[in-house]
Amino acid sequence: MEKDKLKKLIDVAAGREKADVLIKNCKVINVFSGKIQDGEIAIVGDMIAGIGAPGDYDAHEVVDAEGKYASPGFIDSHIHIESSYVSPEEIGRLLVPHGGTTIIADPHEIVNVCGFTGLRYMIEAAKNTKLDIRYMLPSCVPATPFEHAGAVIDAEKMKEVIDSDEILGLGEFMNFPGVISAADEVLDKIVLAQEHGKIIDGHCPSVEGLGLNAYAAARIKGDHECSTLEEMNDRLDRGLYVLLRQGSACHNLRSLIPGVTSENSRRLLLCSDDRQPKTMIEEGHLDNHLRIMGEYNLDPVMCIRMATLNAAECFGLDDLGAIAPGYRANIVLMDDLESFRVAKVWIDGELCAEDGEYLPEFKKTDITPVRSSVHLKDFSEGKLKMHLSSDKVHVIQIMPGGVVTAKVVENVKVGEDGDFVRDPDVDIVKVAVVERHQETGNVALGLLKGYGIKSGAVGLSIAHDSHNLVVVGVDDGEIAAAVRALKEMEGGMVLIKDGQVIESMPLPIAGLMSDQSGEWISDKLTALHEKAYHELGVNEDVEPIMTLCFMSLAVIPEIKLTDMGLFDIMKFDFIPLEAN
């Protein structure tokens, strides 16, 4: 801090000078002591000068909080902006009115597609929102060596940006087998981060015992993939933070709340991971996490601490997470501690939201560098033909309610040419992953059970983590039509029926994000869902878009399809379509 700024901060704190803003008549939530104190908050510039009793401070601008509760700004400890389908500017407009003042964002998706060009776009776009976006450097590009991505970011490449002030740390280390086995290229990345004083975020689903010891030994900070109390407690016992996740795809918060205690709560954070506009508009952000925890009669100050101070301490943000002298003036004013309805939000001392409305001027960044991201080589309908040597096959079975899939063996009809023949009375259809980055010409084929589609095709340019095209359809012609439509619209989501597009949502930003508003995206997603269910016959117990988004994620059990083939996560190897 510059000397003149520090002097003014101290003078205001001591009452010798007027504050810029004084929030009076509020109930200040003290996340250090656990107390709720009647008082007022003095702000100078972007900092909190002091908290005091009525009359302690004078100010140029006085805001009467009318008895509302003042909380530190909420910090989402792990989120992928790209998975909301909106730009960084737009996610700021959506989250700030719900009390979100800081997010720890992993731009893993766009870097997998566009490399550091995508990272630079995200950093520039973040400058056009008041939301404090802290970026992690993606650690796994590609996420595994079992698919083709748009870039390869190894330790040597990381050196180009690791020292940047724009980079908070190393993003979720999804290659947990590489960490546990002490793979050389993985150790290079971990050592690089440690040498530059950067924290490392984690991702280790289903890891236990000595494997978890090995993962924790790398001094990885935490894990957001816990779905059971046993997993949560195992990680807490080993010194990891646990991020309680409540997003649009994964809902682990309610499952983990019974394990929250006053003793372990200081190692618990709140996160979204993936959060779609519809969820943000209808349910909110971390304010919704707090409402859910309130249903279980947890101490509200303890819960708010998970959304604020705990996250700040975990990620080394030592001027955030509390309302106290010398801390950043990120303040959320709430009506009560039951509904957690947000009335006003200050970020860096500026009033940025009031009664659900984002107040700052809204600007957007040029998206030209991250357009035109669908690059196909020699794609044709003929590449969708299977060449089966047996009618006994491995099938990907959808498990409703999450992103986990099961590996099952089924008998299917096979034509004389060895191709799969769909039986309309059996819920098994063809799924294709088409490589879109390196022009390899790869088209991988699998069979999917439980999706329920009865006509047409559904196609996306979103397929975590490398984001190749993924398409499910009732026949090769419908699948091919979806691939062609995705190429033409520069990526997005498309529904095909009788070879024609019946609904679509273009995603021109790297084939991952729209340049439209969250409300527009929400309406489009609703239309896509309704037509997928009612016109294509997709199983209404299945989320038709998100389910396909995770169909290539080769770090989530049990079986997935990448552009290189059918991948068994439990064996961590490719397997043939044939089961014998």
Token reading at 446: 């699998």
520 is written with which tokens? 């527009």
- CATH 3.20.20.140 residue spans of the chain: 72-320
Specify the long-range contacts of residues 338-341, CB closer than 8 Å, at least 24 apart: 338/291, 338/294, 339/291, 340/99, 340/287, 340/290, 340/291, 340/294, 341/287
The identity of residue 138, as a single letter, is P
- The residue written with tokens 């009390």 in the block is 99
Contact 223, 268 (CB under 8 A): no
pLDDT, residue 326, reads 98
Task: Report pLDDT for 399.
Answer: 87
CATH 3.20.20.140 is the classification of domain 72-320 = yes
pLDDT of residue 523: 96
Residue 402 has pLDDT above 70, yes or no: no
Q: What average pLDDT does range 225-239 have in this prediction?
A: 96
pLDDT recorded at residue 401:
66
Judging by DSSP bridges, how do beta strands 100-105 and 74-79 pair with one another?
Answer: parallel
Mean per-residue pLDDT over the chain, rounded: 96
pLDDT value at position 37?
95
SS3 168: strand
Q: Give the model's pLDDT for residue 553.
A: 86
Residue 403, pLDDT score? 78
Q: What is the mean pLDDT of residues 33-55?
A: 96
Instruction: Give tens-digit pLDDT for 101-159.
Output: 999 999 999 999 999 999 999 999 999 999 999 999 999 998 778 999 999 999 999 99
* Per-residue pLDDT tens digits for 458-480: 999 999 889 999 999 999 999 99
C-alpha to C-alpha distance for 92 and 110, rounded to whole angstroms = 18
Residue 44 has pLDDT above 80, yes or no: yes
pLDDT of residue 143: 79
For residues 473 and 24, what is the distance between their CA atoms, to the nearest angstrom? 60
| Phi and psi, residue 188, nearest 5° | -60, -40
Q: Tokens at residue 195, please?
A: 């040498």
Separation CA 580–CA 391 (nearest Å): 9
Mean pLDDT over 79-96 rounds to 97
Radius of gyration of the chain (CA): 25
Cα 159 to its chain centre, rounded Å, is 25
Record the tokens describing residue 146, joined without a space: 């079992």
Q: What is the pLDDT of residue 400?
A: 74
pLDDT tens for each residue of 152-202: 999 999 999 999 999 999 999 988 989 999 999 999 999 999 999 999 999
Structure confidence at residue 145 (pLDDT): 84
What per-residue confidence (pLDDT) applies to 21?
98
Domain spanning 3-67, CATH architecture: Roll (2.30)
Q: Would you call the peptide bond into 563 cis, given omega within 30 degrees of 0 as the criterion?
A: no
pLDDT at 514 over 70: yes
245, containing H or E segment: strand 241-245
DSSP bridge partners of 505? 493
Place of tokens 């169909």: 551
Query: Residue 519 has what pLDDT?
Result: 97
Supply angle C-alpha 293, 26, 307, rounded to 5.
30
Q: What is the mean pLDDT of residues 411-421?
A: 96
What stretch(es) of the chain map to CATH 2.30.40.10?
3-67
pLDDT single digits (tens) 236-276 = 999 999 999 999 878 899 999 999 999 999 999 999 999 99
pLDDT of residue 557: 84
Two structure tokens written together for 530: 């309704």
**Residue 524 CB-half CA count within 13 A:** 23
